[in-house]
Structure 1
Amino acid sequence: MGQILVRNLDDLVIERLKHRARLANLSLEQQVREILQEAARPNREQLLAEMDRIRATTRGRITVDSTDVIREERERR
């Protein structure tokens, strides 16, 4: 896992983060880690764009009907 160092944070920002961490019963480090993880998650537009990209790469390639595959598997049991 990587590490980052954030310099020149305003003291008020640090105090607010510490306060949030105390309220959540977390360490400051864990609180900041969770905030950063949330901020780095893809937004709805990015997720939809990724779905479109995947859909475009598989268009026309899927030739098996999953219903038939499921039926065959059930019949084997």
Structure 2
Amino acid sequence: MANLLVRGIDEALVTALKERAVAHGRSAEAEHREILAAALRRPRKRPFAAVLAAIPDVGQDSDFERIDTSGETPDVFD
């Protein structure tokens, strides 16, 4: 495994890292590794069909029909 040395870190960040590590029951070094891993993990890609299938079935088709306003923008905040 490689080593990573980070210099010039603000003392407040170091303190926050140590507090976060204690809260998670880890060493500051283990917490640092977890933060880096979480920040750099790529999100799991889902197929577009799966994303569409996950959309809840709400409303009627007529709820989503475009209303012809003859060029006027309806005031939806009244």
SS at match of 1:42: coil
Paired position in structure 1 for 2:34: 34
Structure 1 residue 35 displacement after superposition: 0.3
Structure 1 residue 42 displacement after superposition: 1.5
Kindly provide the CA deviation profile for residues 11-61 of structure 1, in whole angstroms up to 9, marking residues without a partner as x. Answer: 0000000000001110000000000011111246xx47xx8xxxxxxxxxx
SS at match of 2:35: helix
Amino acid at match of 1:6: V
RMSD between aligned residues: 1.7
Instruction: Report percent identity of matched pairs.
Output: 38
- Moved >3 Å (runs of 4+): none
- Asked if 1:5 corresponds to 2:5, the answer is yes
Q: Give distance in 1, aligned partners of 2:38 and 2:14.
A: 18
Q: Gaps (5+ residues) in structure 2?
A: 48-78
Task: Give the structure-1-normalised TM-score.
Answer: 0.55
Q: Give distance in 2, aligned partners of 1:38 and 1:10.
A: 21
Task: Give the structure-2-normalised TM-score.
Answer: 0.54
Q: Gaps (5+ residues) in structure 1?
A: 52-77
Q: Give distance in 2, aligned partners of 1:43 and 1:23.
A: 25
Paired position in structure 1 for 2:16: 16
Count of residue pairs the alignment pairs up: 47
Q: Give distance in 1, aligned partners of 2:2 and 2:40.
A: 14
* Larger Cα-atom Rg: 2
